[in-house]
Amino acid sequence: MLVVAGALLAVGYYQAKHNSSAAPPAGADTGGGTGRYVALGDSYTSAPRTGKQAGTPAGCARSDNNYPHVVAAKLKPAKFVDVSCSGATTANMTSTQSTRNGSNPPQLDAVTSDTTLVTLGIGGNDVGFIGLAPDCATSHRDSSPCRDRLTAGGHDELADRIATTATSVGEVLDRIHEKAPKARVIVVGYPAVLPDGDGCWPVLPLGTGDVAYLRDALGKLNDALSDQAKSHSAGFADTAAAGKGHDVCTGSDTRWVEGLVPTSSAAALHPNARGEAGMAEVVESLLGKR
């Protein structure tokens, strides 16, 4: 799902996947009291339960210490708008999202012609990663119920979902550029959730086969997001590379992403405050503000 300095002047910005992040193409300045920063995204952006409620509707579970707020505090733009919302998909960039407590307008409504910076963290809900968790849990360490079901008959259902999501993300990026032609745009990838190796069953009750399958699928989604950023004039924040070694199986004082039973303020299988701060550092580095 996350590095060059002086990246604001970069034109040939794309670098190797998972070794560095792609810098956003040059555009209007943002920071030091100038510019307008708009944050779009899902729950990995809104960061439910990591801080105090920020903005409305309350059902978006948007925290005041998520990575957009941390980035905005460093940049100090003239205007900052965070419309990220838990549960958002690419469809909610252009359509209203109903939540348990209020409706979030189409997120792209916040992107205006005077916007100078946009961060976009989206795609995981299109693929359906979080929704898989109950089906993947198992009492048998060596089993792989999700992989077996999703690859039955030799066809990988998650791969299909990722390909469809990639196309949708590209369309969203085109819309952003149309609405805000002066803006730098950064696609923010997903941080490392699962470790290398067999995982940490039964603390995280995923069989070894599913740990590998889901870890690789998230890597493929990040690859797809990086490719879409490259082909749609956007930068890519590789938070997975930065977050390696901070997955759900690491210690409570190290992890960026909480497990099924969080040990710090965060939603299950979502970034905690440390993870949001780490994701913010990757974005800041792309902007030369670290």
Task: Decide if 86 is catalytic.
Answer: no
Q: Whole-angstrom Cα distance, residue 16 to residue 22?
A: 8
Cis peptide before 202 (omega within 30 of 0): yes
The secondary structure of 40-93 as a DSSP string is EESHHHH-TTSSSB-SS-GGG--BTTSHHHHHHHHH--SEEEE---TT--GGGG
Give which of 236, 184, 179, 228 is closest to 75, Cα–Cα. Answer: 184
Task: Decide if 270 is catalytic.
Answer: yes
From the list 43, 63, 84, 285, the catalytic residue is 43
DSSP state for residue 190 in the 8-state scheme: P
From the list 84, 246, 270, 285, the catalytic residue is 270
Question: What SS3 class is residue 61?
Answer: coil
> 258 with 268: CB under 8 angstroms?
yes
Question: What SS3 class is residue 205?
Answer: coil
Active site residues: 43, 270
